[in-house]
Structure 1
Amino acid sequence: MTACLEPGCDGTIDADGYCDTCGTAAAPAAARQGAAGAGGGHAASSRTATATSSRTGTARTSSTSASSRNSNSVSSRTRGSRGGSTGRSRRGNLGAGLIEVPPVPAKNPLTEIMANPQVPEAKRYCSNCGAPVGRGRDGNPGRTEGFCRKCRTAFSFEPKLRAGEHVGQYEVLGCIAHGGLGWIYLAKDNNVSGRWVVLKGLLDSGDADAMAAAAAERRFLAEVNHPSIVQILNFVQHPDPTTGAPVGYIVMEYVGGSSLKQVRADFRDSGGQAGPLPVGQAIAYAIEILPAFGYLHSLGLVYNDFKPDNIIQSEEQLKLIDMGGVIQMDDEDSAIYGTKGYQAPEIAQDGPSVESDLYTVGRTLAVLTSLDSRAYQTTYLDSLPSPSEVPLFARHESFYKLLQRATDKDPAMRFGSAEQMAQQLTAVLREVLSLEEDKPHPGASVMFGPEVRVPSTSAERPELREVVRALPVPLVDRDDPGAQFLAGLGAVDLVEQRFALEKSPLLAASQEIQLRLVLVATSEGDFSTAVRKLDEFENANGGDWRTFWYRGLIQLASGVITQAARMFTAVYDALPGEPAPKLALGACAELLGDFETASRYYGMVWRTDTGYVSAAFGLARALLNTGRRDAAVRAFGAVPQTSTHHTAANEAALRALLVDRDRDLSGADLSDIDARYSWLAARLDPEHANWLALEVLTAAGTRLGVQTPTDLVPGQKLIDRHVDDRSLRLGMEQAYRSLARLATDRAKRIELVDQANAVRPRTLI
């Protein structure tokens, strides 16, 4: 016999897997070896009735992967997660260390007891056909017990247990809520230190599906052991007060707090107005609870009925409650419980899946952050509001794209795992907070390598080839057979890798080596070979985000920029938190002359992570081309001192200050330019510094030729020259003569001396 591990209990585990004294379930090996978890906490048992969805077919259709040759949408089927935690997360980590989520105080369970427990008439439906039952007529209240007028199935909305009644070792204290599978009762465990527990019964004890669901809970839910999922302690039976038939009750831990439905209802903005939750807070909730979904999925289970009612916050912890809808993925017979507006559209035909579970997470995020939940059960039953209807979606494009992917009507287009969705949500949260708080929230990508070069460190538009070379490269899958081989080629120039790659004995087995050959051919300008190899890869392995990315690179390198942008948009749709596709789209827009779009994408990346210096240069160039010089100068100047491109960025900022300044260059501007030049001159080689001095003095001279700035300070100087025509000309002459002395070519030296003589001010001698 196995001793019970419950503190204060000296019982043993019986043959059914429960303690013969306190009734606590044993902790099975399967649960102890579960997948990644999230920090959990206590939760209130605030429930609302759920609408049931009956499965109308058992066929499980298989979806095919999208092809980058004929589609703009990336399938999730062959896209795996990279990295990520495999252990349980720490408790009290709500917000992923990025945002502080307001805590919800735990509640005294006795205050939760309902004085007059009733199911509202508007929430009374037949458990068999879904028709309204128990509704009032002609001013008379509806019946709480009776038979459905449509299918004659018996219904009962009366509590089966009363305060003071004993169900085995549990003393009932009263009803605290009602849910899709029954009443929720608060009770006290007389065998284990009077601990609070919750008993969940059935709305209708004659409902065969509900009884089967309860039996299913006893069969496998006691094995679920995760800090973010309510713990099933026991399963007991008690006679129905009317029929005497045994009724099953699930015994669960009691946890006190508030459901996210209530948190949203109670939220008030800084002006005291009610409204949706802040998007960062809602994302933090989803990130925290997704590991619980991943854990269930690793056990072959699906939750089915996720919604704001079924996730509870207590202090800084979250917990998933109401396990009545959980079934095994391969269960083709059990009824599927879900809620209208949250449940995936394919459920009735194809049954539940990982993708249908993640659909409910996406819908919950949409409800928490935008419209009233009723709109998601009517107007937007199978769709999302547009950004024009919800300004938040327009403000945070990446968040909207994440919702679109999570709730796509095609399951194959959704996220393929909870870990994958959590990874992208975390990246989106960084982007959201960077905009809301006006400060960067950088984080390493789990899909792409870091930025290794910048295509242009000036105010000039970059060359196409340099853009392709500078874009981040997808990370190598560590589980790929060729991963170690590719790591050994890290220091070898990309073009020089071809021979080693083609001769590798791992070529046929390694997807990563095959994709590296595509990249090599693209870098060489051998686009026909690159396309052929990518087609062969896609035919053998199906399409995923990498095929779209590499096809976009090929098209960009070959100058088909509009088509390349379509491919990069597909990657952005699939990986909305990643900076790489935004960089690519910003580059495409800039090359096409669409500087407003370029500034938007470059800005999204730079605002979030200042490690992407190419985004700062791209943003500044785009701003400069749309007439926003001051903003462009600030963007150039924001490149951090730790960057190797810091000096180049300051030079670009100075040059931006000189563009088209013949009419608006002020004395204050000249002072700023002088300070910037002095800083740069100390860091540039003499030849470079003299050429830059010529640009500065020429711009100032041009301005003086039109009009002298009215705010010049007496004695003001520019590069050690007074700000007047004669002094500036002498400065230009000196710069040309200095350049002539540095020139090694005799013809060039003569040319520079001639230019010095040409700018020299006229004298009488």
Structure 2
Amino acid sequence: MSEELDLPETGPSTAPGTAPWSVSQEVSRSASGRARRGSARSMSRGRLGAGLVEVPRVPYRDPKTAVLENPEVPEAKRFCSKCGKKVGRAKDGKQGRVEGFCPQCGHAYSFTPKLEPGEVLHDQYGVLGCLAHGGLGWLYLALDHAVSDRWVVLKGLLDSGDADAMAAALAERRFLAEVEHPNIVKIHNFIRHESKVSDKLVEYIVMEYVGGESIKDMITHRRREGRGDEALPLAQAIAYVLEILPALGYLHGVGLLYCDFKPDNMIHTEEQLKLIDLGAVRRVDDHHSPIYGTVGYQAPEIGTIGPSVFSDIYTVGRALAVMSFPFDFRGKCKDRLPTADEVPLLGRYPSFHRLLLRATNPNPELRFCSAEDMAEQLTGVLREVLALEDGVPRPGLSRQFTPERRRFGVEGSLDLREVALALPAPSVSTSDAAASWLATATTSDPEGLRKAPELTVEVRLRIVRVLIESGDTQAALRELGTLTAPSMFDEPELDPAEDWRPDWYRGLAALTDERPGDALGFFDAVCSAVPGEAAPKLALGVCAEAVGDLTAAAAWYELVWRTDHAYVSAAFGLARVSLACGDRARAVEVLLSVPDTSSQHLPAQIAAVRAQLGDCGAEDLVAAGERLHALDIDVHSHTQLSAEVLEAAYHYVTRNQAAEGKVLDCALSEHELRLGLERRYRTLARFAATPEERIALVDRANAVRPRTLV
């Protein structure tokens, strides 16, 4: 990556833009966060960290210290505003000219500031100097003498002789007058002023001064300070994007497209993030205005179908990648993301990788459909990232899935039909006409469901689920096929390219038919569509375990369990896989981590005792006995488990030799263990359900009883 992260603005495109897709509403749920106060040195644990992560404060910057001593546009950023070619570059040892004519098209250019320190505009705004330059104009610091000498920023055109640039500036003024959002820079006024340099009237926007640091500058400073990276900590980068996505969603909700999202245009000041520079903003239905954006961030379809909500989502994905890891986003990775092999961070956080892949999918219709949609999944990814970093669970409610409907694999074996019945179910869309009817429907009969007041998509999906649960997977797949197949005249009721639920139900059907290999492919597609959700990852763990890929199964179970302890089936799955891999200690550790607030706490404790009885040593046997002694279970269950523990101890002693310590008050010697087992077998005989079972237990007691001389 080069020293500068920002890129020259692209020239105006002649291709009309289109916006054929719906716009989103403002993000208002998980990205809004919760208001908890942090330490004095860190910002409050509120929206900027999505309520999950503390982000360092950025002190308010004294405006006077931000003024440039020698304002000029670097030669590397000088481009013709008409044809986009390089201008003002050094040649034959001579510095490039800041004013002149483009050698390619003859268009005049000028990169000199149009305002001087001390100049007063509109009898109100006193200029102190230049702050920075952007693709469409210089930024000047000024004092508003009419309003308590408040600090303001004046933005004018970089090249006031260019008609397209002037049109873009006027468009910015028109759009900004309509924008009102706490994460978008505020506009105070619009004025015209005659330049002393060119004697021309120049348009200026008067906006609030945001005294902080851009995300781009943060990354640049980290590199200059020799921190060994060229990016922000992943959790911090995600928190920044979560903070700014509501602003983007707000713009979409009022029919505007931002078009130029990048780290340069996000300013962090104290405890707030601001979206600045709305110079490229355009209306969704604008098909004719010039299109502005930045190479490396801009969506590939811009030149053909123009900007859309989906192209904005693409820029967010690219910007998040730039903020998270170093990669050549202008070179070989201009039109793609790097692989997990190229960037290890993507391998460590696969859900984050999947999220970036969906946000930057070459097909616009396969990206997130709204800023809210992306924020919801990004919040789930952030929970995973934090849980993997420090091992502390970050549970969260899902709007896409119900909780686990029941636990599976608790008894130590995996029944795929049981799993299909137990996995979380896709939530019913509240916008569906039959949503309220489904919420109270108690019938599990497909024909009864067909009598719903209206046979909506959600009703038909419920029919699919009921058919799968009854084992009639062929009928379920036929029903699903009618939902997803287009007719001669109409589009399908459910487009599988845009909706992940058909893949989910196909995966459930494959599980029910005990085809885990097929199910794995369907659930993997769901996981890529909703990378912040736990349900498809739990299903992938099951499929991987069923096909014998224990390493992958352990990784999926681990990811789900570390993030949210509500998914107890993941704990039992991880313990089961760990035992199969010979890692008994890990299996016990996982089972003991099931919280005492869970209904499966006691079964997990019992499973932990049994897990410790494998190819174990004396210390494990003693620990298993102590753990069993502390369990509050009925006499029969306690006696049965005690017998299992003593049997394991007896086999250990007979294979080895007597050892120190006691197991359930029995010394680790053959004689003591025989006596202990005899007592347990005789107690179990009293609980026997049949005479045959009682006789068998008494025989076992007699057989294990130590021999005596009497």
Q: TM-score range by the shorter chain?
A: over 0.9
Partner of 1:477: 429
Partner of 1:376: 329
Specify which of 709, 733, 739 is matched with residue 684 of structure 2: 739
**Unaligned ranges ≥5, structure 2:** 36-43, 486-492
* CA RMSD, Structure 1 to Structure 2 (Å): 2.4
| Offset from partner CA, 1:725-761 (integer Å, 9 cap, x none) | 1221222222222222212312222222222222222
Partner of 1:51: 9
Partner of 1:294: 249
In structure 1, what is the Cα distance between the partners aligned to 2:167 and 2:674?
Answer: 94
CA contact (8 A) 1:266 1:274 kept: no
Partner of 1:320: 275
Question: Structure 2 counterpart of 1:107, which letter?
Answer: R
Measured at CA, do residues 159 and 88 of structure 1 come closer, stay the same or move farther in structure 2, by a change above 3 Å? farther
Residue 400 of structure 2 corresponds to residue 447 of structure 1:
yes
| Offset from partner CA, 1:493-548 (integer Å, 9 cap, x none) | x7x34343122222x2x221111110000000001110011111223222211111
TM-score (norm 1): 0.86
Please state how far the C-alpha of 1:461 moved relative to its aligned partner. Answer: 2.6
| Offset from partner CA, 1:295-327 (integer Å, 9 cap, x none) | 000111011111111100001100000111111
Please state how far the C-alpha of 1:658 moved relative to its aligned partner. Answer: 1.1
User: In the TM superposition, what are the counterparts of 1:740-759 in structure 2 within 5 Å?
Assistant: 740-759=685-704
Please state how far the C-alpha of 1:673 moved relative to its aligned partner. Answer: 1.4
Partner of 1:530: 476
Please state how far the C-alpha of 1:423 moved relative to its aligned partner. Answer: 0.7
Specify which of 434, 448, 455 is matched with residue 387 of structure 2: 434
Specify which of 610, 619, 622 is matched with residue 655 of structure 1: 610
Specify which of 682, 692, 701 is matched with residue 641 of structure 2: 692
Partner of 2:53: 99
In structure 1, what is the Cα distance between the partners aligned to 2:157 and 2:475?
Answer: 65
Query: Per the alignment, in what secondary structure is the counterpart of residue 131 of structure 1?
Result: coil
Please state how far the C-alpha of 1:346 moved relative to its aligned partner. Answer: 0.7
In structure 2, what is the Cα distance between the partners aligned to 1:738 and 1:467?
Answer: 36
In structure 1, what is the Cα distance between the partners aligned to 2:625 and 2:431?
Answer: 55
Specify which of 136, 150, 168 is matched with residue 195 of structure 1: 150
Specify which of 141, 149, 158 is matched with residue 95 of structure 2: 141
CA contact (8 A) 1:232 1:250 kept: yes
Measured at CA, do residues 151 and 291 of structure 1 come closer, stay the same or move farther in structure 2, by a change above 3 Å? same
CA contact (8 A) 2:576 2:587 kept: yes
Please state how far the C-alpha of 1:230 moved relative to its aligned partner. Answer: 0.7
Measured at CA, do residues 49 and 363 of structure 1 come closer, stay the same or move farther in structure 2, by a change above 3 Å? closer
In structure 2, what is the Cα distance between the partners aligned to 1:226 and 1:47?
Answer: 27
Query: Per the alignment, in what secondary structure is the counterpart of residue 615 of structure 2?
Result: coil
Query: Per the alignment, in what secondary structure is the counterpart of residue 627 of structure 1?
Result: coil
Partner of 1:467: 419
Residue 695 of structure 2 corresponds to residue 763 of structure 1:
no
Partner of 2:134: 179
TM-score (norm 2): 0.93
Q: Which stretch shows the higher mean deviation, 526-535 or 188-197?
A: 188-197
| Offset from partner CA, 1:587-637 (integer Å, 9 cap, x none) | 111111211111100100100111111111111111111111101100011
Residue 112 of structure 2 corresponds to residue 154 of structure 1:
no
Question: Structure 1 counterpart of 2:638, which letter?
Answer: A
| Offset from partner CA, 1:327-385 (integer Å, 9 cap, x none) | 1111111111111111111111111111111111111111111115xx11112111111
Please state how far the C-alpha of 1:149 moved relative to its aligned partner. Answer: 0.6
Specify which of 128, 140, 150 is matched with residue 82 of structure 2: 128
Partner of 1:226: 181
Please state how far the C-alpha of 1:83 moved relative to its aligned partner. Answer: 8.3
User: In the TM superposition, what are the counterparts of 1:622-701 in structure 2 within 5 Å?
Assistant: 622-661=577-616, 665-666=617-618, 668-680=619-631, 682-683=632-633, 685-701=634-650
In structure 2, what is the Cα distance between the partners aligned to 1:725 and 1:50?
Answer: 82
Question: Structure 2 counterpart of 1:705, which letter?
Answer: T
CA contact (8 A) 2:185 2:207 kept: yes
Measured at CA, do residues 195 and 59 of structure 1 come closer, stay the same or move farther in structure 2, by a change above 3 Å? closer
In structure 2, what is the Cα distance between the partners aligned to 1:80 and 1:548?
Answer: 27
In structure 2, what is the Cα distance between the partners aligned to 1:142 and 1:322?
Answer: 27
In structure 2, what is the Cα distance between the partners aligned to 1:266 and 1:118?
Answer: 21
CA contact (8 A) 1:471 1:580 kept: yes
| Offset from partner CA, 1:372-400 (integer Å, 9 cap, x none) | 5xx11112111111112222111111111
In structure 2, what is the Cα distance between the partners aligned to 1:275 and 1:371?
Answer: 5
Q: Which stretch shows the higher mean deviation, 747-756 or 200-209?
A: 747-756
Please state how far the C-alpha of 1:50 moved relative to its aligned partner. Answer: 3.6
Please state how far the C-alpha of 1:82 moved relative to its aligned partner. Answer: 11
Residue 527 of structure 2 corresponds to residue 572 of structure 1:
yes
Question: Structure 1 counterpart of 2:696, which letter?
Answer: E
In structure 1, what is the Cα distance between the partners aligned to 2:273 and 2:26?
Answer: 24
- Identity across the alignment (%): 51
In structure 2, what is the Cα distance between the partners aligned to 1:174 and 1:59?
Answer: 37
In structure 2, what is the Cα distance between the partners aligned to 1:677 and 1:235?
Answer: 77
Measured at CA, do residues 473 and 48 of structure 1 come closer, stay the same or move farther in structure 2, by a change above 3 Å? closer
Query: Per the alignment, in what secondary structure is the counterpart of residue 103 of structure 1?
Result: coil
Question: Structure 2 counterpart of 1:145, which letter?
Answer: E
In structure 1, what is the Cα distance between the partners aligned to 2:24 and 2:513?
Answer: 26
Partner of 2:307: 352
In structure 1, what is the Cα distance between the partners aligned to 2:382 and 2:60?
Answer: 27
Measured at CA, do residues 333 and 656 of structure 1 come closer, stay the same or move farther in structure 2, by a change above 3 Å? same
In structure 2, what is the Cα distance between the partners aligned to 1:532 and 1:322?
Answer: 52
Partner of 1:456: 409
| Offset from partner CA, 1:453-474 (integer Å, 9 cap, x none) | 111213x231111111111011
CA contact (8 A) 1:260 1:311 kept: yes
In structure 2, what is the Cα distance between the partners aligned to 1:118 and 1:89?
Answer: 43
**Unaligned ranges ≥5, structure 1:** 1-45, 64-76
Residue 115 of structure 2 corresponds to residue 165 of structure 1:
no
Query: Per the alignment, in what secondary structure is the counterpart of residue 83 of structure 2?
Result: coil
Query: Per the alignment, in what secondary structure is the counterpart of residue 623 of structure 1?
Result: helix
CA contact (8 A) 1:280 1:433 kept: yes
In structure 1, what is the Cα distance between the partners aligned to 2:569 and 2:249?
Answer: 36
User: In the TM superposition, what are the counterparts of 1:598-617 in structure 2 within 5 Å?
Assistant: 598-617=553-572
Question: Structure 2 counterpart of 1:526, which letter?
Answer: D
Q: Which stretch shows the higher mean deviation, 700-709 or 242-251?
A: 242-251
In structure 1, what is the Cα distance between the partners aligned to 2:87 and 2:297?
Answer: 23
Query: Per the alignment, in what secondary structure is the counterpart of residue 338 of structure 1?
Result: coil
Query: Per the alignment, in what secondary structure is the counterpart of residue 94 of structure 1?
Result: helix
CA contact (8 A) 1:199 1:252 kept: yes
Please state how far the C-alpha of 1:686 moved relative to its aligned partner. Answer: 2.9
Measured at CA, do residues 56 and 213 of structure 1 come closer, stay the same or move farther in structure 2, by a change above 3 Å? closer
Question: Structure 1 counterpart of 2:678, which letter?
Answer: E
Please state how far the C-alpha of 1:452 moved relative to its aligned partner. Answer: 2.9
Query: Per the alignment, in what secondary structure is the counterpart of residue 369 of structure 2?
Result: coil
Partner of 1:551: 506
Measured at CA, do residues 269 and 146 of structure 1 come closer, stay the same or move farther in structure 2, by a change above 3 Å? closer
Partner of 1:5: none
Query: Per the alignment, in what secondary structure is the counterpart of residue 215 of structure 1?
Result: helix
CA contact (8 A) 2:351 2:532 kept: yes
Partner of 2:40: none
Measured at CA, do residues 673 and 698 of structure 1 come closer, stay the same or move farther in structure 2, by a change above 3 Å? same
Please state how far the C-alpha of 1:158 moved relative to its aligned partner. Answer: 1.0
Partner of 1:392: 345
Residue 291 of structure 2 corresponds to residue 336 of structure 1:
yes
In structure 2, what is the Cα distance between the partners aligned to 1:364 and 1:193?
Answer: 37
Please state how far the C-alpha of 1:57 moved relative to its aligned partner. Answer: 2.7
CA contact (8 A) 1:78 1:542 kept: no
Query: Per the alignment, in what secondary structure is the counterpart of residue 196 of structure 1?
Result: strand
Specify which of 39, 60, 64 is matched with residue 110 of structure 1: 64
In structure 2, what is the Cα distance between the partners aligned to 1:385 and 1:454?
Answer: 38
